[in-house]
Amino acid sequence: MGKTIEIFIDSSLNEDDMVERVKEYACSRCSILVHDANDTGSKADMDLKRSEYGITSLPAIVINGKRVPSEKLVRGKFSSWFHGLVKK
């Protein structure tokens, strides 16, 4: 069974790289949703989700309803940690 991965960004260049890395490491059955703070069409939905998950800063990742600790999003640690998580 795949995981539901939600990515919360504000369209900075570094965040685009993070989105690509998530897509690269996610399993073929994973569902990936990207919420962009600069997309006015989905801002209300994003704000609701951010509140629901307790997200106070961007970027943020939520996997199966659980927020990924921000220290795990550091570039050097992200790849091996995330790859192992979504392949389980």
Digitized pLDDT (tens) for each residue of the chain, 88 residues in all: 788 999 998 877 677 778 888 888 888 898 999 998 888 787 788 889 999 999 998 889 999 999 988 777 765 556 666 666 666 5
Domains of the chain: 4-86 (3.40.30.10)
> What is the distance between the alpha carbons of residues 27 and 60, in angstroms, rounded to a whole number?
19
E-assigned strand segments in the chain: 4-9, 31-36, 60-63, 66-67
Q: Which residue has the tokens 């629901």?
A: 52
12 phi and psi, to 5 degrees?
A: -75, 160
Q: What is the pLDDT of residue 74?
A: 64
